[in-house]
């Protein structure tokens, strides 16, 4: 499959990242043959990964049932292997996390945007900051980050071509809530809540 798993990358952690995971789950048949893990289980985990990272609203009840079925299958097949804490949290508590953060799709809360700014941070530090002191360097970096993210200034940039995400599988589409729109979401202004309103 051409994947490097758990390989240390100089100065950049290891090779276990989102791209590796997507490629791993993209071909469940080959993955199951190589790892010896149940193909249906790999397919289900791939669907869950698509749903939580797609940036769309999730149907909480369908997601809860899908994750519960996946957890039962995991325990039936691999009761001898203790379920990792991250897998437990996703399968058994993922729906509650999505339910209590329903003002924005769970995929929009990823650290992908901040990770994408790392290259800008390095560029600003190297080419657009004073090197007289750490305070001056950090001040210049912050100013450049603020300027580059300003919505008004960004409106003058030429439009970039839209990122083409891979289409969701049919199974993943069934777990999405297509009836939710921005107009349906009720926002609460936290600044206007008093101490007595918290219950």
Residues 2 and 19 in one domain: yes
Residues 65 and 103 in one domain: yes
Residue 163 confidence (pLDDT): 53
What is the spatial distance between Cα 182 and Cα 184, in angstroms, rounded to a whole number?
5
**Which residues in the chain show pLDDT less than 70?**
11-12, 159-165, 180-199
Tell whether 128 is covered by a domain: yes
Residues 89 and 124 in one domain: no
Residues 148 and 81 in one domain: no
Residues 106 and 91 in one domain: yes
Residues 125 and 46 in one domain: no
Nearest of 7, 177, 16, 48 to residue 102 by alpha carbon: 177
What is the spatial distance between Cα 4 and Cα 8, in angstroms, rounded to a whole number?
9
What is the spatial distance between Cα 64 and Cα 92, in angstroms, rounded to a whole number?
8
- What total of structural domains would you count in the chain? 2
Residue 149 confidence (pLDDT): 84
Q: Out of 110, 142, 163, pick the residue that ends a domain.
A: 110
Tell whether 167 is covered by a domain: no
Tell whether 163 is covered by a domain: no
What range defines the domain where residue 93 resides? 1-110
């Amino acid at each position: 499959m051409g994947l490097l798993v758990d390989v240390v990358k100089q100065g950049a952690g290891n090779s276990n990242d989102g791209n590796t995971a997507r490629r791993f789950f993209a071909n469940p048949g080959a993955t199951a043959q190589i790892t010896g893990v149940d193909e249906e289980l790999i397919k289900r985990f791939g669907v869950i990964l698509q749903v939580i990272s797609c940036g769309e609203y999730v149907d909480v009840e369908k997601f809860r049932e899908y994750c519960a079925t996946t957890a039962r299958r995991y325990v039936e097949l691999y009761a001898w292997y203790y379920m990792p804490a991250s897998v437990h949290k996703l399968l058994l508590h993922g729906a509650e996390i999505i339910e209590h953060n329903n003002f924005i799709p769970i995929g929009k809360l990823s650290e992908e945007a901040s990770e994408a700014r790392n290259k800008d941070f390095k560029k600003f530090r190297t080419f657009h900051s004073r090197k007289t002191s750490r305070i001056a360097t950090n001040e210049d970096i912050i100013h450049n980050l603020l300027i580059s993210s300003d919505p008004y200034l960004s409106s003058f940039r030429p439009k970039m071509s839209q990122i083409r995400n891979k289409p969701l599988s049919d199974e993943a589409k069934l777990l999405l809530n297509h009836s939710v729109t921005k107009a349906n979401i009720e926002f609460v202004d936290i600044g206007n809540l008093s101490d007595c309103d918290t219950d």
